[in-house]
Chain A
Amino acid sequence: MSKHELQKGTISPLRGRNRTLAFQVLTVFPAVALVVLVIGYPVYYLVSLSFTNVSAFNLLNQSYRWIRFRNYQKLFNDPIFLRAIAHTLGYALGTVGVQTLLGFWLASAVYRMSRLQKTLVTTLLLFPTMVADIAGALVWRPLFDVSTGVLNYFIKALGFSTVNFLGDPILARITVMAVAVWQWTPYMFLFVLAGMESIDTSLYEVAKLEGASSRVVMTRIVAPLIRPVLLVAVYFRITDSLRVFDKVFVLTGGGPGSATETISTYIQRTGFANMEYGLASAGGVVMLGIAFLFGLISLKLVSAYND
């Protein structure tokens, strides 16, 4: 039909090549310009900064120098940085694991509910997810307070000694992870539920006739069938969890000590609190590398699923 190679879903230019070309350029240019300007330039700047020792102290008198890989050496010799990476990874894997399990349980129960109840429950369950990071931390923080928090009140009433949710190193990590589970379990729940609803109902009926318990249904029927989609969701959740900042910053600030330090809080502290811009940039490059790694894996999973 047309001289130009047609891709599925694209239109052949009917009104002359130039006019359509103008249309194309005009529509795409602002977006591209913005993206290139506001991301491309900073990333380039980030990488170049990471090879210098720029800090607030030498920025003004221009006495900073090109120090090549020394920032990276410093980073990987810093136990706090290494622990931050380990924490962040552990946080991501741990929270997403629990979110998925809980999501399965929620979906299996909600699936059997009446339409009205299902709608109501889904809406209510979505609140933690939509309220988002910063608000989530804000609503939980008062509850964790040692002296005035409601949680500790109930704990004391039950006869136990107060729990320092945010002040004890090990507990603080668990607490932050708990907030993450609270926030994102509904997300996994939605995926599993959607997956369940796309499975042929006859499968469920056969299972019921054979007397299968719901646990068997979930593990032997649902899980294998929705695995590809679930994998995508899990990977996106993990990738997103690696970026965590707001929650940790508001709940613990990375503390106590550096118990809950994540990659993000480390970079923020190095860059904006300690004003070591070069070092912080190196940390940023490392984080970017990790993000790309996980991001590319997610992409592969998505395209594998779509084929």
Chain B
Amino acid sequence: MRLAKLRSWTSNGLIWVYILVTLFPIYWIVSMSLKPEGLITRLPPVFVFKPNINSYIQLLSGDFLPILLNSLVISFSTLTISLIVGTLAAYSIARYNTGGEWLTLVVLVVQMVPPMVITFPLFILIRRLGLIDTRLGVILAQLTYTLPFVIWTMKQFFGQIPIEIEEAARIDGASDTRTLFSIMLPIAMPGLVSASVFTFLRSWNDFLYPLILTIRKAQTVTVAASRFVTVQDVLWSQVGAISTLIIVPPILFTVLLRRRIVEGLVGDSVKG
């Protein structure tokens, strides 16, 4: 039995070593954002220091604030539109089989298109609409992958809700819309939360579309961050600060909504 105890201690220990190693870069970048500039590149690397938030102050009082705002507005807008349009469509498809197999197939196939493939034609289209370097342009582009995702996720979710609930509502005299809003939505809340988290994060972390479709006014944090890194004279503390800001939403969501996220990632592919 002692051998077994030793084994489990070792394996636990190794797991924690793994965690420390994998989280080190994140720790490092956050610490970079809190160090005065000189301290960052000093070797040996400094691990104990007095944190200061100068880099954040510099960023937010400078050009960066509108960029941060862009990311927030774009992500929330994409989320809202995708949720509303997508959930409605998903409900319709799940319950009424609207569009039949064809529509379901389209929703599926569309998700297989890699974003890079339509980047250039999308660029042309957005330009024809006069939406280059606007938030709306980026939102439209992001909807190409968030909308099918929401439709698909919510369709699966609605499909698993027993039909008896709605039929009971019908018998009680509820109309289509009333059924949807007062009954279905509350029940579908976990699915909505899961879909929301992933949609927001995909939009927030989006790099390619903002890169292609914006120049200055509608830049997002992701593009701004990469621009900082490729420049010769890098202000590492600011790079650290931007990167830290970028990873705040994902980490926050992971900590608060872990179960929803795990469900969302693994899906119901494993019946437990």
Pairs A–B under 8 Å by Cβ, sample size 21? A7-B97, A9-B94, A20-B96, A27-B91, A27-B92, A31-B89, A35-B144, A38-B125, A38-B140, A43-B117, A45-B125, A113-B15, A131-B247, A134-B205, A134-B225, A135-B247, A198-B271, A214-B7, A243-B114, A268-B116, A288-B117
Given contacts A28-B93, A106-B15, A138-B239, contact A122 B258 (CB under 8 A): yes
* Contact status B262-A143, CB under 8 Å: no
What is the CB-to-nearest-CB distance from A189 to chain B, in angstroms, rounded to a whole number? Answer: 10
Query: Nearest Cβ in chain A — how far from B71, in angstroms?
Result: 12
Q: Are A141 and B45 within 8 A (Cβ)? A: no
Selected interface stretch from A63-71, A73-81, A245-253: A245-253
- Contact among A45, A130, A288 with B114 in the assembled complex (CB-CB below 8 Å): A288
Decide: B246 and A135 in contact? CB cutoff 8 A: yes
Contacts of A41 in B (CB 8 A): 121, 125
Interchain CA distance A138-B265 in the complex, whole Å: 23
Flag if B98 contacts A24 (CB, 8 Å).
yes
Q: What's the Cα separation between A130 and B252 when bound, in Å?
A: 10
Which positions in A face B, CB cutoff 8 Å?
A: 7, 9-11, 13-15, 19-20, 23-25, 27-28, 30-32, 34-35, 38-39, 41-43, 45-46, 49, 106, 108-110, 112-113, 117, 119, 121-135, 138-143, 148, 150, 153, 157, 182, 187, 190-191, 194-195, 197-198, 214, 226, 229, 232-233, 239, 242-243, 245-246, 249-250, 253, 263-264, 267-268, 271-272, 277, 280-281, 284-285, 287-288, 291-292, 295-296, 299, 302, 305
- Whether A138 contacts B11 by the Cβ 8 Å rule is no
Q: Is B99 interfacial (CB 8 A cutoff)?
A: yes
CB distance from A5 to the nearest CB of B (A): 9
Residues 1-54 of B contacting A (Cβ, < 8 Å): 7-8, 11-12, 14-16, 18-19, 22-23, 25-26, 28-29, 32, 40-41, 43-45
Residues of B within 8 Å of A130, CB to CB, are 201, 250-251, 253-254, 261
A124 contacts B28, CB within 8 Å?
A: no
A204 to chain B, nearest CB (A): 14
Would you give the 0/1 interface string for B248-272, flagging 1 where the beta carbon is closer than 8 Å to chain A? 0011011100100110011001111
Interface residues on B, range: 35 or more
Distance of B8 from chain A, by nearest CB (Å): 6
In Å, the complex CA distance between A161 and B270 comes to 47
Complex contact B229–A138 (CB within 8 A): yes
B188 in the interface, Cβ–Cβ < 8 Å? no
With the chains together, A148 CA to B175 CA distance in Å? 66
A194 touches B272 (CB 8 A): yes
- Nearest CB to that of B45 among chain A residues? A150
Q: Distance (Å) between the CB of A39 and the closest chain B CB?
A: 5
Question: In the assembled complex, how far is the CB of residue B50 from the closest CB belonging to chain A, in whole angstroms?
Answer: 20
Residues of A within 8 A of B22 (CB): 125, 127-128, 182
B193 within 8 A of A: no
CA distance A46 to B45 in the complex (A): 49
Contact A291 B112 (CB under 8 A): yes
The 7 A-B residue pairs whose C-beta atoms are closest, nearest first, are: A42-B121, A295-B112, A31-B89, A27-B92, A132-B205, A45-B121, A130-B250
Contact B114 A287 (CB under 8 A): yes
Contact of B122 among A38, A117, A124, A195 (CB under 8 A): A38
Return chain A residues, CB-CB under 8 Å to B92.
23-24, 27-28
**In the complex, what residues of B have CB within 8 A of residue A24's CB?**
92, 96, 98
Determine whether the beta carbon of B265 is less than 8 Å from that of A190. yes
Return chain B residues, CB-CB under 8 Å to A42: 118, 121-122, 124-125
A15 and B269 in contact, given A139-B25, A264-B116, A284-B118 (Cβ under 8 angstroms):
no
Min CB distance A212 to B, Å, is 12
Select from chain A the residue with minimum beta-carbon distance to B269.
A229
Residues of A near B15 (CB, < 8 A) are: 106, 109-110, 113, 121
Contact of A119 among B212, B236, B258 (CB under 8 A): B258
Interchain CB contact (< 8 A) of B208 among A110, A232, A245: A245
Bound: A130/B247 CA distance, A: 9
Q: Is the CB of B26 within 8 A of A242?
A: no
CB distance from B141 to the nearest CB of A (A): 7
B195 on interface, CB distance cutoff 8 Å: no
Contact of A35 among B88, B91, B119, B147 (CB under 8 A): B147
